[in-house]
Structure 1
């Protein structure tokens, strides 16, 4: 944004978004001050970045939702298509009507996992290997649901999926197989009709719990993973997050950066639930959908431009500095 606030983030430190990122330094890290859009995409071609998973080299894997594609964007902003999910005849996806690639997660060997919402039997979790082979569906999810946020717990060999319509967190074996409804309940559901649209949305695994955003209810939730791997009681950790989409943790504590899609805002959410804006439309955000943080320093924010009048889907980079 046009100013750089100093934000309290933990009891022992503060965080400021001193955003950055044009060119790399000799050490390979961004150096220039201020947030910067490093890549722009074509809305008319469905290249609307929905979710993000980072590579070790700092490049970003994105789902282009309506193009049904998974792409890699390097540090120069050049996009390379990795895979295209199969077209679906007569998609009937809840909420949006069209088939869409949604969440993405990366395994250590480079394998990518993607949620695909279609309103048909093709709905589910798809695997994209890094050998150029065609995407493969590894788990089928209900056609009347809307699989959205996705996270991988590689230590336990499971994927978690947030279903925005059915108000469910699904648990799927990493190698594929039958999904389990791991967590359900009012806190994960959309609001009742006619106001309800999107419930459980973004999802992350962090500090022994599955964290989920609920867009309709404007909440950030924490669901403990018990010793037997079942879901503990849902805890509300923050409220008043209007139009929250996906989010990311800034480090080992519970400080979060959250994309507030309709407000064109990136919000910093402290462990006590208080929050404030750190980036906005003046910085280049255009309906931000998700966030990634690399090395506790570099922040990536994809914007899909779903609702703005001026269509400018993009990828913005910023710098997170400890103060």
Structure 2
């Protein structure tokens, strides 16, 4: 009998197939097999799952943009998620990053889904301490997280993705999707300033103002997507977060959101509202792995993270918004999902070997 548990463990046992293949157009991507993608949880209609982080115990923390909330989901037993916290005076939660074991920084602010407009000056960053958090299998919280505000950043227009300068750093780098810059925030002192600014981070003329989006650091570089420039880029940074090299375009990727790296340095980029998942190699080769604007398999993909435990190291967890940013023609908006993608199986089904 096929079970979610057997699906997850199959990823650990499967051979990793992360080799290059020719770029495929979204319309030519074959539907994935049933053991490639599973839905761990689907939220109610009109719920936008925005971002996620993985706890040291393997549980997932998921932020919502449609409500100022963080939920916990156990991927081994994905029953009712536990509501970790609801932030005051905000409409949504965005980027999330772990900066010490089981302690997370979360971006919170006011961004209206109906109009895609931000409220300038409404953004803040919060500390969510999960070290004592407890909940049962039905999502009932028996011991809450300890939550406190780190700081408001009133000069920001639209804080979005967040990462650390490097592993173990107490300095976070935060994308401002409207100003087209990166802020540095010391998570202990609450001091902040703009440290990175490039044309590759800026918005393009249009009704929706959305430039730099997802940000992650790796091997001394900050990598970032730009949603409406449709690009994936990088810049070398020092230990203070300042640029020490040129801003470099890696690939043109289409409308891109957040992303995750595998151990080989391939980036897996959520495409919204292109409704796809792309892989970009270190050399800049782009493969559409699954999805397109005419199917709902990964509709409204917003972010991705790999599991960290032995059973799910090859599982890519993806959040979605259910089509709130643009539904697939002929379908209705549905609740955002948390997907578990068995990446070796998906790559094999795509003929990447």
TM-score by length of 1: 0.81
CA contact (8 A) 1:125 1:138 kept: yes
SS of residue in 2 equivalent to 1:272: coil
Cα distance change, pair 177–254 in 1 and its aligned pair in 2 (3 A):
same
Instruction: Measure, in 2, the Cα distance between the counterparts of 1:203 and 1:318.
Output: 21
1:157 Cα deviation from its structure 2 partner: 1.6
SS of residue in 2 equivalent to 1:291: strand
SS of residue in 2 equivalent to 1:248: strand
Instruction: Measure, in 1, the Cα distance between the counterparts of 2:171 and 2:40.
Output: 33
Match of 2:93 in 1: 101
Aligned-residue RMSD, C-alpha: 2.6
Query: In the TM superposition, what whole-angstrom CA distance separates every residue of 1:57-96 from its partner, at most 9, and x where no partner exists?
Result: 33211001121101111123231111111034xxxxxxxx
Instruction: Measure, in 2, the Cα distance between the counterparts of 1:63 and 1:55.
Output: 13
SS of residue in 2 equivalent to 1:318: strand
Match of 2:340 in 1: 317
1:55 Cα deviation from its structure 2 partner: 1.8
Instruction: Measure, in 2, the Cα distance between the counterparts of 1:269 and 1:263.
Output: 16
- Within a 5 Å distance, the mapping from 1:188-267 to structure 2 comes to 188-191=201-204, 193-194=205-206, 197-226=209-238, 229-251=241-263, 253-267=264-278
SS of residue in 1 equivalent to 2:200: helix
Cα distance change, pair 125–274 in 1 and its aligned pair in 2 (3 A):
same
**Within the alignment, does 1:66 sit opposite 2:66 as a pair?**
yes
- Within a 5 Å distance, the mapping from 1:25-104 to structure 2 comes to 33-44=35-46, 47-75=47-75, 76-78=77-79, 79-88=81-90, 99-104=91-96
1:229 Cα deviation from its structure 2 partner: 4.4
Q: Could you say which structure has the higher helix fraction?
A: 2
Query: In the TM superposition, what whole-angstrom CA distance separates every residue of 1:220-239 from its partner, at most 9, and x where no partner exists?
Result: 11121126642234433433
**Which segments of 5 or more consecutive residues in structure 1 lack a partner in the other structure?**
1-19, 89-98
Give 4+ residue runs of structure 1 displaced > 4 Å after superposition.
Answer: 24-32
1:140 Cα deviation from its structure 2 partner: 2.0
CA contact (8 A) 1:221 1:234 kept: no
**Within the alignment, does 1:23 sit opposite 2:5 as a pair?**
yes
Instruction: Measure, in 2, the Cα distance between the counterparts of 1:142 and 1:273.
Output: 36
TM-score by length of 2: 0.75
**Which segments of 5 or more consecutive residues in structure 2 lack a partner in the other structure?**
14-33, 111-118, 133-143, 348-352
